[in-house]
Amino acid sequence: MEALHLAQCDEILDKLEMREHTVIGVKGVHLSGGEVQRIAIARAILKDAKIIILDEASAAADPETEHELQLAFSNLMKSKTVIMIAHRLSSITGVDEILVIDDGSPDGTAAIVKNLIAGEFAGRLHILERKGKLGLGTAYIKGFKWSLEHGYDFIFEMDADFSHDPNDLPRLYAATHDEGYDVAVGSRYVSGVNVVNWPIGRVLMSYFASKYVRFVTGFSVHDTTAGFKCYRRCVLSSIDLDKIRFKGYAFQIEMKFTAYKMGYKIKEVPVIFVNRREGVSKMSGGIFGEAFFGVMRLRWDGWFRKYPEAKH
């Protein structure tokens, strides 16, 4: 009953003759979309999971009861890590902080974000603007530094085009938080080849790129180019991020290799990678070349560079 109360379901129970014992869908008893969602939130509160993923959680909300739905969200999110995927701004009014890193996007991203900062998201929405395209790796490093400065203990890295499934985030978190690993990698290749809807040429290039990295460096991770990861705070805070050289996809290899050489424990969590739903690949000849020759440099570093020891 407490869970139903926290999920703002009191008025729903009041209108049902048998209250919580009512069977929905029989004898003409039906609930609206928003009411169904609040009952689902009550179930989630009972589950008391440490990580909650809400995918378009307010898509069917009733305009007249959206306030109650937001209150239910607030109670659900207390002392939880919540990942919310939403296209309605009203769905994310309760988040703690959102960071947008913009490299001079021509679509007006910065202006839109600044308008939101000046309004309802003041103090919680942040933007880091950079002039020109400075590379994938430098954007990640900016985000890592921001996360460390704001006190986060577990930092996730993933693509926002849904090729990385948000439903896998709890498994990466569990590997670091519960199992004691320092880095969790969402791996496409640790249990075979788990890739869906990729052109065969791209699959072969990615798969054998990881094979090449393992052969040259002696690195044991199967999916060395994976961009789906969870870091413990201690890993990112002890790596000198300003000395990470690579800016393209080789950045992914260098970060894992550096953590490995410092003595951090890495676990590969098998995931299924689905070809992007939105956007286009940024792979280019320059990025490929950086990765190919950069791996040789990493091998050289592995022989002669002194890496600092892991700090927990």
Q: Give yes or no for residue 63 having a pLDDT over 60.
A: no
Note the pLDDT tens digit of each residue in 108-163: 888 988 998 998 888 888 898 888 777 778 888 999 999 999 999 999 998 867 78
Torsion-angle region of 162 (φ positive above 0: left; ψ -120 to 50: alpha; else: beta): left
Query: What was the pLDDT predicted at 269?
Result: 94
* pTM for this prediction: 0.66
Tell me the mean pLDDT in the region 194-199: 79
Q: How many CB atoms lie within 10 A of CB 153?
A: 13
pLDDT digits (tens, 9 = 90+) for 272-297: 888 765 555 555 545 556 667 777 78
Q: Are 296 and 216 contacting, i.e. CB atoms less than 8 angstroms apart?
A: yes
The one-letter amino acid code at 46 reads: L
**How far is the C-alpha of 267 from the C-alpha of 263, rounded, in Å?**
13
- Closest alpha carbon to 34 in 91, 105, 110, 104: 91
